[in-house]
Structure 1
Amino acid sequence: MELNLLDLRQERCPMALLLAKRHTKALSEGQQTSIYVSDSSSLSDITSFLLKQSFELVCEELDGYYSLQVTKGTLSNV
């Protein structure tokens, strides 16, 4: 399974959230992606959205930014 990347480190909310919504909506069931964000408000907004939409999510703080590993849940989880 190919892992794709959405780099939002140069974006701020609400644009970061809008782009993350579009990107994750296009995922197929079980598909994974990584999202990079640099500010805590974008992290909070995107994380909240993804959890409400039943995505599996792992967040890691790296050198000056956050990495979100996102997996779209199965239909039974949504």
Structure 2
Amino acid sequence: MKPNILDLREERCPMALLLAKRHIAKLSNNEVAILYIADPSSKRDIERFLQSKSYKIECEDNSEFCSMQVKKEA
């Protein structure tokens, strides 16, 4: 299965949040998407939105960007 990846490293809010919302809305139950985010404020906004919608989130930060794994739960 092809990885479900959305690269937002070149985007800033509000566009990063909008693109993330659109991408995540297409997920089926128990499907996972990976978001790459470089902008710290975009990361906070996306994380806050996903938490409000009860998605399961796992973040892995490195020096250049964050890799956020998002799972839609049933």
Partner of 2:40: 40
Q: Which residue in 2 is equivalent to 1:61?
A: 61
Structure 1 moving runs of 4+ over 4 Å: none
Aligned to 2:16: 16
Q: Which runs of 5+ in 1 are unaligned?
A: none
SS at match of 1:33: strand
TM-score normalised by length of structure 1: 0.90
Q: Distance in 2 between matches of 1:2 and 1:25?
A: 18
Q: Deviations over 1:30-77 (max 9, x none)?
A: 000100000110000000000111100001102300000010011xxx
Distance (Å, rounded) in 1 between the aligned partners of 2:2 and 2:31: 8
TM-score by length of 2: 0.95
Identical columns (%): 49
SS of 1:36's equivalent in the other structure is strand
Once residues 63 and 4 of structure 2 are traced to their aligned partners in structure 1, the CA distance between those partners, rounded to angstroms, is 20
Query: Offset at 1:2?
Result: 4.7
